[in-house]
Structure 1
Amino acid sequence: MRSFFSDISGQSTGIGIVTAVVGYTSSVAVVINGMQAVGASPGQIASGLAVLCAAMGLCGVILSLATRMPMMTAWSTPGMALLSTLSAPAGGYSAAAGAFVVTGVLIMLAGLWSPLGRMITRIPRPIAGAMLAGILFKLCLAPVTALGEVPKFAVPVILTWLVVGRFQRLWAAPAALAVALAAMAFDGQQSTQQFALPALEFVWPSFDWQTLISIALPLFIVTMASQNIPGLTVLTTYGYKAPSRPAFLATGGFSAVTAVLGAPTINLAAITAALCAGPDAHARPERRYTAAVVAGLAYVVIFTPLAAIATSLVTASSPILIEAAAGLALVGAFGTSMLGAVQDEKERLPALATFLITASGFSLYGVGAAFWGLCAGLAVHFLYNAANMGRTKVEKSAT
């Protein structure tokens, strides 16, 4: 800590606070929507959100101080979008908490047993991107649906997102959410919310195979493929050799433990990591870790106490308008995922099969669409690869 206080600067402090504000406000509606979809009560949402903020803040502080690298941790926005597409499991939020525990354990195993981590990286990128695009698709349609249902609210929200995004893309989603809440408050659809500290609620995890396949397995794959691996890549881009094992053990361990208080999974940050790892945080790369530490402290000190009022504001708001604000925050991620899915012509058909089944909401034996979409994409991938390999062998033998 002595070296931290000598390394910190006003520049890194400012970037750290901005990173926390952007990371929280841009996707908190997605997190609350996801928890609500899988059966969490308002009290469980407030408890889970508070513990989630504290966990990702503390984990990021510990990793950044230990490695002296800007190792930001965050909630899994794509993972929370996955939860938004599901219905509450038969076991209620207890079953979802059990899935969060298993997801955390799987992330820890990926750190301890490298073949598991390699297995995730061997999923063809177009298929992984298509699964993520299918998960995000329904939420990204919400702004269009809101235009038809509540145009007087949806129009200013979408215009705010477009105009602010034209000049400062990172602030577009927070601004859209603020306008949505302000418009409904002005129209009298929201009562005045009073500040109250969140009360922690214990959620006893339960385990059943349907919930584990529908939530834990897709959440693990999405978290690894769209958060942890890109998070490491961002750090590498800025010249840091971030150790994956401690990162996976820390984020997985925090996730498994905090699930009993209703908190979903945490992981390495990707987009917000770029803010702390870039030159805007500090001119000297070896001192940029201080920005990540400040961001982590901001999550703990500023946003953890706000969990109850954030939950009240979002859950009391028009569902379609909050979904619209959440969908606008995910449009960029959807576009990137879809581009990666269809760019490679050889993998386009497997990727499209994955996307269509995942986006359809198809369910079989109580298992959700993301799992079946992944299975279908891999099946088509191996079918076509086997046919191509057989054709190549025939051509070689003929020559």
Structure 2
Amino acid sequence: MPKDPLTDSALHTPARASLLQPATAGILAAIVGFGSAFPIVLQGLAGVGASPAEAASGLLALCIVTGLLGAAHSIATRQPVSIAWSTPGAALLISTGIPDGGFAAATGAFMVAALLVVMAGLWKPFGRAVVSLPMSLASAMLGGVLLTLCLAPVKAVGAVPELALPIVIVWALGWRFARLYAVPLAVLVTVGIVVFATPIPAGALADIWPKPVLVMPEFTLSAAISIALPLFIVTMASQNVPGLAVMRGNGYQPDVGPVFISTGLFSGITALFGGHAVNLAAITAALCAGPESHPDPARRWIAPVASGAAYLLLGLFAGFASAFIAASPPLLIQAVAGLALLSSLAGAVTAAMAKEDERVPAIVTFVTTASGVGFFGIGSAFWGLVAGGLLLMLQRAGRPAGS
């Protein structure tokens, strides 16, 4: 029987009610995704040399592309394809440091990482090779990147307990009673503390309207190795692969080629305006693809469309967010970023230690990355992968296949 256009065939409820639930879920996903991660994105871009104006431009570009791309894929496929920026990638940037050539070189590295994602979508053997990278090593590299950041809340409590403790307590209570809102609540408390308890220079927040800033890329070998390659691996292993798993776990079978190609191409465009990478959403994807979005799987594609519209509106706050963070005490911003990344660190460590025969190579990757020690202008994340990979190869040398 043909569907009545005014009713939902699965639930026999009015069509407006059927639209409201996925739309609400999508808007919630956008608010949670933005509120939990924008400090990390801004800190990451600043960490590789972006000025506050360039960081604001990057956040604006990421919001626009995230919104438009997620809505476009979902409308075209009638599947809940959620797009997000790479939060683990932004965390990687915080620990990388400013490359030779400054933010222009970092932008060039963003474009190289974007090209690698496009190649993974176009050339299936390359895509399979990336996916076959030992998850233990990729997760250990991510864990090493996140460790220093996740120590920030502890350091903040030790340095300024009167400011940091309220943030940690609110986060802990949110984690206990409303886990989805734990980090956004901590961000709100941080904003309140900064406004009322710390001096902000006059005029620091005067020009808050976001403006696109074109950044001409500079391509250097050291930035390609220390930024582009780890960013690509982290984005694929920590965002795209889990994002696909979330969709498949909810009964959807997206064509990964177009997703990788489009996210890679648009990541290259955002790089020209200071953004680092967009990809499949992993955590917030569950809000849009799961039964919380709508009992009828055929209606859940509406959620990423609503989320996309919300991201376009949230992008208008990019200038204010960047100016506010630039004027705030760095230790408090690092503390709330560390709280936001604790669950990612827990997941990375768990995945790194999952296979007993790969634990020591994974630990070598973890400690090498966490050390922050680089050589030849190349950051520790790359050397962590090299050290762990060489040990894993040595461990397997001479063994029969499959042993």
The residue correspondences of 1:125-140 to structure 2 (distance < 5 A) are 125-140=135-150
Q: How many angstroms does 1:189 deviate by?
A: 2.4
2: distance between equivalents of 1:326 and 1:261?
Answer: 23
Counterpart of 1:13?
23
1:311 maps onto 2:317 in alignment? no
The residue correspondences of 1:61-140 to structure 2 (distance < 5 A) are 61-140=71-150
2: distance between equivalents of 1:121 and 1:255?
Answer: 20
Counterpart of 2:11?
none
1: distance between equivalents of 2:42 and 2:239?
Answer: 19
- For residue 267 of structure 1, give the secondary structure of its aligned residue in structure 2: strand
Q: How many angstroms does 1:125 deviate by?
A: 1.4
1:209 maps onto 2:221 in alignment? yes
Alignment deviations for residues 302-322 of structure 1 (CA, whole Å, 9 cap, x no partner)? 211111001011111110110
Mean CA deviation greater in 70-79 or 113-122: 113-122
Counterpart of 1:395?
none
Q: How many angstroms does 1:297 deviate by?
A: 1.0
Residue 331 (structure 1) aligned to one of 324, 327, 342: 342
2: distance between equivalents of 1:333 and 1:44?
Answer: 27
Unaligned runs of 5+ in 2: 8-14
2: distance between equivalents of 1:124 and 1:199?
Answer: 41
1:146 maps onto 2:156 in alignment? yes
Counterpart of 2:49?
39
1:228 maps onto 2:251 in alignment? no
Q: Tell me if structure 1 keeps the 8 A contact 2:208–2:323.
A: no
Q: How many angstroms does 1:389 deviate by?
A: 3.6
Counterpart of 2:361?
350
Counterpart of 1:374?
385
1:271 maps onto 2:283 in alignment? yes
Counterpart of 1:247?
259
Mean CA deviation greater in 220-229 or 191-200: 191-200
2: distance between equivalents of 1:21 and 1:258?
Answer: 21
Q: How many angstroms does 1:164 deviate by?
A: 0.7
- For residue 282 of structure 1, give the secondary structure of its aligned residue in structure 2: coil
Alignment deviations for residues 285-333 of structure 1 (CA, whole Å, 9 cap, x no partner)? 0110001110011101x21111100101111111011001000011011
1: distance between equivalents of 2:362 and 2:161?
Answer: 34
1:281 maps onto 2:293 in alignment? yes
Alignment deviations for residues 312-364 of structure 1 (CA, whole Å, 9 cap, x no partner)? 11111110110010000110110111011123210011000000000000100
- Give the AA of the match of 1:356: V
Alignment deviations for residues 164-198 of structure 1 (CA, whole Å, 9 cap, x no partner)? 11011111111111111211211142368457321
- For residue 306 of structure 1, give the secondary structure of its aligned residue in structure 2: helix
- For residue 261 of structure 1, give the secondary structure of its aligned residue in structure 2: coil
Counterpart of 1:384?
395
- Give the AA of the match of 1:50: L
2: distance between equivalents of 1:14 and 1:195?
Answer: 32
- Give the AA of the match of 1:164: G
2: distance between equivalents of 1:182 and 1:195?
Answer: 20
Q: How many angstroms does 1:29 deviate by?
A: 0.5
The residue correspondences of 1:255-266 to structure 2 (distance < 5 A) are 255-266=267-278
2: distance between equivalents of 1:354 and 1:119?
Answer: 19
- Give the AA of the match of 1:183: I
Q: Tell me if structure 1 keeps the 8 A contact 2:373–2:380.
A: yes
Counterpart of 1:364?
375
Relative distance call for 1:57 and 1:199 in structure 2 (3 A) is: same
Q: Tell me if structure 2 keeps the 8 A contact 1:214–1:368.
A: yes
Q: Tell me if structure 2 keeps the 8 A contact 1:65–1:293.
A: yes
2: distance between equivalents of 1:194 and 1:50?
Answer: 18
Unaligned runs of 5+ in 1: 393-399
Q: Tell me if structure 2 keeps the 8 A contact 1:48–1:261.
A: yes
1: distance between equivalents of 2:398 and 2:95?
Answer: 35
Counterpart of 2:10?
none
The residue correspondences of 1:50-61 to structure 2 (distance < 5 A) are 50-61=60-71
* TM-score normalised over the length of structure 2: 0.93
1: distance between equivalents of 2:171 and 2:108?
Answer: 36
- Give the AA of the match of 1:112: L
2: distance between equivalents of 1:173 and 1:115?
Answer: 39
- For residue 29 of structure 1, give the secondary structure of its aligned residue in structure 2: helix
Aligned length: 388
Q: How many angstroms does 1:82 deviate by?
A: 0.2
1: distance between equivalents of 2:166 and 2:244?
Answer: 37
2: distance between equivalents of 1:12 and 1:44?
Answer: 34
- Give the AA of the match of 2:341: L
- For residue 279 of structure 2, give the secondary structure of its aligned residue in structure 1: strand
Q: Tell me if structure 2 keeps the 8 A contact 1:185–1:191.
A: no
Q: Tell me if structure 1 keeps the 8 A contact 2:65–2:266.
A: yes
- For residue 357 of structure 1, give the secondary structure of its aligned residue in structure 2: helix
* TM-score normalised over the length of structure 1: 0.94
1: distance between equivalents of 2:360 and 2:103?
Answer: 36
Q: How many angstroms does 1:280 deviate by?
A: 1.2
2: distance between equivalents of 1:91 and 1:71?
Answer: 36
Alignment deviations for residues 178-227 of structure 1 (CA, whole Å, 9 cap, x no partner)? 11121121114236845732111110001000000000000000000000
Counterpart of 2:58?
48
1: distance between equivalents of 2:326 and 2:146?
Answer: 20
Mean CA deviation greater in 31-40 or 177-186: 177-186
